[in-house]
Amino acid sequence: MIYRLKRWSAALLLGMFLSLLSILQCFAAGTVSQVNLHIGQTPDAVYLTYSAPDAAQGAFSVTGPKGTVDYAANPVWSDSAGKYLYSAKVDGLAPDSNYTYNIAGSYSGTFKTPAETGAFTFAFLTDTQIGFEADAKATGAMFSLLNSRDDLSFAYIAGDMTDSSRNERQWEMLFENGGVNAGAGQTFFGSHLIAAAQGNHDNSSFSGHITAPCANSGVGPVVYAFDYSNVKFVILNMNTPDTWAAQADFLRREAADAKNNGKWLVAGFHQSLYSGAAHIVDSGIISARKFWSPLFAELGVDLVLQGHDHVYARGFVTSTGSNANLTAENNTCHVVSGIPLYITGGHSGAVKWYAARNYQISTGDPLTPNYSFLDVNSAAPAQNPWGTDTSKTHEQSYILINVDGDTMTISTYMFRYDGISDKMATPPYLYDCLTISR
């Protein structure tokens, strides 16, 4: 017992030393870090968030088609982070325009505002869930792969940014990943707009590190909508059941606007209603499925982007939880109103993977047995086009969705990065590709 106490005490002291060292390095540098830009609810606004060791880093400028504008972000001291956190709304921007920004003379980056028309591609990521140095390095490899592309308009991240939302070291490793791809996260966040959903491992403020808009006080935190070209995105929050009724009213209004303007309708949130692994009959998931599944069908939601289950899964699911069995021709499916395509986005990080399970269906739950509602399930070899099981292969994933008028092409890539050796074990490959049309 004494040996175990000494061992755990040593581990605790080591962890505290590493966290303190990271903070001291930040103070020594005297520069801003953890920079990110969140998309706004209108194309003329974004939200800039960053951190710094002191309260004198609030001045920043943004340069675009009409020249340079100076802004100021207010510093807020965070005891848990041990640093100042800054946030500011940048508005008055022109749509579909390139901008550069400079923060306090110590960090510069670029971003592009949402386009009102035309084709675009966005990344769908989920569950980076940074916990330890090894999985931070693996996540850095994913960001490095995305940084090599020049066609990404923004990234939708379906929650669980870190394993523990109040662990500052984990937030630091989300941006500075360590190893071969040390700065890949910061490079990505500093040059791409993001749209974030709140996961169960996140808190409603993302511990001050990400600023997401809020549609109104009634719907609760991290609930908002935005248009990008001919797509309306509605981000919901499954963590707050007491606001679901208000969120549903918000979704109804946004859905009506989307349909009246001929836009695709995409819903995004963290906890998967329909996926292929262990969380499928968690009590909270059952409650959410009963509430939201019939509503998504009623309102004509085209695509549902989810996370939480650390598995890649997709299926056209009816309001009763059955597989719609839509026929694909040349890998293209024509969408049917009232039958959304549900996608669980896999695992962009490398902390854990969930397996499929045997489950029983409770009364009133719109679900069918044996994951039969899915067309693809990476955790079930019989439903996996590669015949493998990601709970054993431990492959990470990222998804690229190209929208071009009345078609969406969804390309899912998988790879395996060994964070211990800091090397790519399985190079990225196209795991799944589907086009939906209307």
**pLDDT tens string 52-67:** 999 999 999 999 999 9
Distances (CA, A) of 388 to 276, 380, 431: 13, 7, 11
The enclosing domain of 104 has a CATH number of: 2.60.40.380
Considering the domain architecture, whether residues 298 and 412 belong to the same structural domain is answered as: yes
pLDDT tens-digit readout, 338-353: 999 999 999 999 999 9
The number of distinct structural domains making up the chain is 3
Strand partners, 52: 84
d(CA 144, CA 140): 6
Percent of the chain predicted with pLDDT > 90 = 93
Considering the domain architecture, whether residues 80 and 205 belong to the same structural domain is answered as: no
Q: In what order do the strands lie in the sheet with 224-228?
A: 224-228, 231-235, 264-271, 303-307, 341-345, 312-316, 376-377
Considering the domain architecture, whether residues 101 and 243 belong to the same structural domain is answered as: no
The enclosing domain of 145 has a CATH number of: 3.60.21.10
Query: Of 81, 112, 143, which residue sits at a domain end?
Result: 112
d(CA 140, CA 148): 12
pLDDT, block means (10 residues), the chain with 438 residues: 38 40 43 97 98 97 98 96 97 98 97 98 98 97 98 98 96 98 98 98 95 96 98 98 99 99 99 98 98 99 99 98 95 96 98 97 98 98 96 98 99 98 98 98
Considering the domain architecture, whether residues 164 and 96 belong to the same structural domain is answered as: no
Query: For tokens 């940084």, what's the residue?
Result: 147
Record the pTM: 0.92
Burial class (CB in 10 A: 0-12, 13-18, 19+), 34: buried
Considering the domain architecture, whether residues 344 and 199 belong to the same structural domain is answered as: yes
Torsion sign (Cα): 49, 41, 126, 218: positive
pLDDT for the residue numbered 6: 40
Considering the domain architecture, whether residues 270 and 409 belong to the same structural domain is answered as: yes
Domain residues for 53? 33-112
Considering the domain architecture, whether residues 86 and 158 belong to the same structural domain is answered as: no
Amino acid found at 220: G
d(CA 156, CA 222): 13
Considering the domain architecture, whether residues 9 and 131 belong to the same structural domain is answered as: no
3-state secondary structure of 243: helix
Centroid of chain to Cα 103? 25
* Under 8 Å between Cβ of 397 and 414: yes
* Under 8 Å between Cβ of 239 and 198: yes
Q: Which residues of 106-133 are buried (b: 16+ CB within 10 A; e: fewer)?
A: ebebebbbbbeeeebbbbbbbbbbbbeb
Centroid of chain to Cα 139? 13
pLDDT for the residue numbered 30: 52
Burial class (CB in 10 A: 0-12, 13-18, 19+), 2: exposed
Query: For tokens 């695709």, what's the residue?
Result: 264
Q: What are the residue ranges of helices labelled H in 31-152?
A: 133-147
CA geometry: angle at 355 spanning 351 and 359, to 5°? Answer: 135
pLDDT for the residue numbered 13: 42
Determine if residue 359 is left, alpha or beta; phi over 0 gives left, psi from -120 to 50 gives alpha, anything else beta.
beta
Considering the domain architecture, whether residues 7 and 108 belong to the same structural domain is answered as: no
Considering the domain architecture, whether residues 315 and 384 belong to the same structural domain is answered as: yes
Considering the domain architecture, whether residues 76 and 136 belong to the same structural domain is answered as: no
Contacts of residue 377, defined as CB under 8 A and 6 or more positions apart, other chains included, come to 276, 311, 312, 313, 356, 371, 383, 384
Amino acid found at 152: L
pLDDT for the residue numbered 2: 39
Query: For tokens 């699911």, what's the residue?
Result: 317
Considering the domain architecture, whether residues 260 and 288 belong to the same structural domain is answered as: yes
